[in-house]
Amino acid sequence: MKTIDGFDFKGKKAIVRVDFNVPLNEQKEITDATRIDAAVPTIKKILNDGAAVILMSHLGRPKKNPDEKYSLKPVVPYLSKVLNVPVQFADDCMGESTKNMTAALKNGEVLLLENLRFYAEEEGKPRGLPDDVSDEEKSAAKKAMKEQQKSFTQQLASYADVYVNDAFGTAHRAHASTALIADLFDEQHKMFGYVMANEVGNLEKVLKKPTHPFLFIVGGAKVSDKIAALEHLLDKVDAIIIGGGMQYTFIKAMGGTIGSSLCETEALDVAKATIEKAEKAGVKLHFADDAIIADNFANDANSKTCDNRHLPDGWMGLDIGPKAIHDFAEVIENAKTILWNGPMGVFEMSNFEKGTKAVAEAIARATKKGAYSLIGGGDSVAAIGKYGFKDDVSYVSTGGGAMIEYLEGKILPGVKAIES
Ligand code: AMP
């Protein structure tokens, strides 16, 4: 992988795509700065070489320009503090005045551009088309957008001599700043930052050279989001624990009764096929024997423990039960490579967090005993943080969707743009 390590940035201007898509509270305070902290070593290396740094990112999903709610400005004080240099802010990522700011930027200085996604050009999707628009009009709008996206990308590229991609969280998107821009720099002047190198390096380690037994733990709400990764991993892993809401599509496919638990009817056949494929591949699928069920999707709902394959009508499984916690902990502690994506239950509600917490704890114990553990996906990362095990696992990924697509065996556009 071509990283910033081999490049001397002295006297250059570098434009760095970072992932500063951080959660902000009502007061516009950052509630989890993991993604900013992760980018600091890359920014510091470039600054220490004696270069100027232009940072670009998206935040949330703005639908207009500007969209105050999604401004990156609240990031500036924290970023200045962790970098220990005053960070300048351009309140528009385009325009003459921003162009002038980038031109005036001196070595050792940092400029953060306003949210790239204020412009539809970043994602390249036409915005605000009326519902009743004809197919011709739609395709004309798409064509026009392609042209606009070209000039948007060109302006971003014109700010700098070198392009660095350090945004793993958006590496699965072929957007202007994550992929298209790379074409405007020659081989020597585009490269990966440390976040990208670490993320890809750790995933490669797990996928290419795992120590066995290799266990994949998957949970969360939607089967359809994770089934492709699950299938791709069947020829790599020894066992899979399936928890969370997504387990109920599998349990129903196996003939269980699931009450009003989450279920993706359209994924039932796929779930059934996956179970058969796992059997053929010799991969042990672990399902919870018991569940904590509730009569309502609320923390204060009535709840009880129940056989996970026979849920009564009107009740839904919101967490794995005590026997499953015990069984899963044993499987986890015997594993030598552990990949975790997705909570075991509705861990945001205190009455249904035990399973997720216990899995995090067991992973920490396994890691202490020498297992290699990689945690990814927004909710598992939040859980690991919430229960205080961030430093007790081997690697915490900053990317959810990007990690899943990597696990599906896809070449991420952000990686391809620099490597090919
Ligand atoms: P995902 O983004 O697919 O990883 O899903 C994460 C979400 O799944 C979290 O917000 C959890 O609250 C939710 N979740 C986990 N288990 C269940 C469950 N048994 N029923 C409903 N939602 C669940």
pLDDT of 204-245, one tens digit each?
999 999 999 999 999 999 899 899 999 999 999 999 999 999
Does the pLDDT at position 32 exceed 90?
no
Listed residue (378, 383, 386, 379) closest to 359, CA to CA: 383
Report whether residue 346 contacts ligand 1, using a CB cutoff of 6 Å: yes
Each residue of 136-162: pLDDT tens digit? 999 999 999 999 999 999 999 999 999
Each residue of 396-408: pLDDT tens digit? 988 888 999 999 9
The residue whose C-alpha atom lies closest to atom 10 belonging to ligand 1 is 346
Residues 114-130, mean pLDDT to the nearest whole number: 94
Q: Is 173 among the catalytic positions?
A: no
Q: For a pocket test of ligand 1, which of 346, 357, 386 has the largest count of ligand atoms closer than 8 A to its C-beta?
A: 346
- Give the angle 261-265-268 at the CA atoms, nearest 5°: 100
Residue 302 Cα to ligand 1 midpoint, Å, equals 19
- Residue ranges of the alpha helices (H) in 1-134? 34-48, 76-83, 96-104, 120-123
Which residue out of 17, 35, 173, 236 is catalytically annotated? 35
Listed residue (12, 33, 36) closest to 24, CA to CA: 33
Q: Are 32 and 90 in contact (CB under 8 A)?
A: no
Residue 400 Cα to ligand 1 midpoint, Å, equals 14
Residue 155 Cα to ligand 1 midpoint, Å, equals 41
Q: Are 16 and 212 in contact (CB under 8 A)?
A: no
Six-digit token string for 303: 């709840």
Q: Are strands 162-165 and 13-17 parallel, antiparallel or unpaired?
A: parallel
Report whether residue 121 contacts ligand 1, using a CB cutoff of 6 Å: no
Nearest-angstrom CA–CA distance, 270 and 286: 17
Residue 217 Cα to ligand 1 midpoint, Å, equals 14
Half-sphere exposure of 376 (CA within 13 A, CB side): 24
The residue whose C-alpha atom lies closest to atom 20 belonging to ligand 1 is 245
Q: Is 243 among the catalytic positions?
A: no
Each residue of 47-103: pLDDT tens digit? 999 999 999 999 999 999 999 999 999 999 999 999 999 999 999 999 999 999 999
| Residues facing residue 75 across a β-bridge | none
Q: How many residues does the chain have?
A: 420
Q: For a pocket test of ligand 1, which of 287, 379, 407 has the largest count of ligand atoms closer than 8 A to its C-beta?
A: 379
Each residue of 77-90: pLDDT tens digit? 999 999 999 999 99
Nearest-angstrom CA–CA distance, 39 and 198: 11
Report whether residue 348 contacts ligand 1, using a CB cutoff of 6 Å: yes
